[in-house]
Chains A and B, each alone.
Chain A
Amino acid sequence: SQQGEEDPQALSIQEGENATMNCSYKTSINNLQWYRQNSGRGLVHLILIRSNEREKHSGRLRVTLDTSKKSSSLLITASRAADTASYFCATPPNNNDMRFGAGTRLTVKP
């Protein structure tokens, strides 16, 4: 069963706008990770946030984690056309494997 569920399924914005994607999960975690996938390619790791962290930044990325609500959000600021991709959250529920949601497909129009 999928552990993370991203929302929305698809998001279309103009270049320069901010993009926010959300992830909800079901069981307790020790960390949550976000990945990016360009069309048909392998996923690439973006950022990891630990369960004792509430917010983390990396360049134009900002991730928040609310363990009480079992949810996380990924904010991409000042988006660019090159940010067009699918974004996935992932959790290692049992520390043995990693499960992904269905992803949010982001389109940034130039």
Chain B
Amino acid sequence: EAQVTQNPRYLITVTGKKLTVTCSQNMNHEYMSWYRQDPGLGLRQIYYSMNVEVTDKGDVPEGYKVSRKEKRNFPLILESPSPNQTSLYFCASRGGAGGYTEAFFGQGTRLTVV
């Protein structure tokens, strides 16, 4: 079954404690992205990757890091989380160039930073 898997689904952490949210897709997709969703603000892109070792900033990259060492995995790293990073996070992937492909989303990670 084609899917994007995020872990964990829920996470409560304290300010400053480094954390990683994992994302894995089994569709051999080139493109992967991270989004955060906050009430009234919709989905805002954090980082995206066009292929292995190729990443670029989205609209709200501050405070986040990503890496793409393997095609299937695209972890999101918060080196020093702060309360304003409390949000619902989604990973998405899509294949092919030209933009004529649909995005597949993970089930989301609800992060709370206290």
- Knowing A30-B98, A40-B88, A40-B108 are in contact, say whether A96-B103 is a contact too (CB < 8 A): no
A1-B59 contact given A88-B43, A97-B31, CB 8 Å threshold = yes
- Once the chains are docked, how many angstroms separate the CA of A21 from the CA of B101? 22
On chain B, the residues within 8 Å of A99 by CB distance are 45, 59
* Cβ contacts B60-103/A at 8 Å (1 or 0 each): 00000000000000000000000000001010101001111011
Interface of B is mostly: strand
Interface residues in B, total, Cβ within 8 A: 31
Contact code string B19-57 (vs A, CB < 8 Å = 1, else 0) = 000000000000101010000111111001010000010
Q: How far is the CA of A2 from the CA of B45 in the complex (A)?
A: 9
- Please, how many residues of chain A have a CB less than 8 angstroms from a CB on the other chain? 26
Q: Which residues of A contact B33 (CB under 8 A)?
A: 97-98
The reply on A95 being an interface residue by CB < 8 A is: yes
Q: How far is the CA of A102 from the CA of B40 in the complex (A)?
A: 7
Residues on the B chain within 8 Å of A96, using CB: 31, 48, 50, 56
Name B residues whose Cβ lies closer than 8 Å to a Cβ of A: 4, 31, 33, 35, 40-45, 48, 50, 56, 58-59, 88, 90, 92, 94, 97-100, 102-108, 110
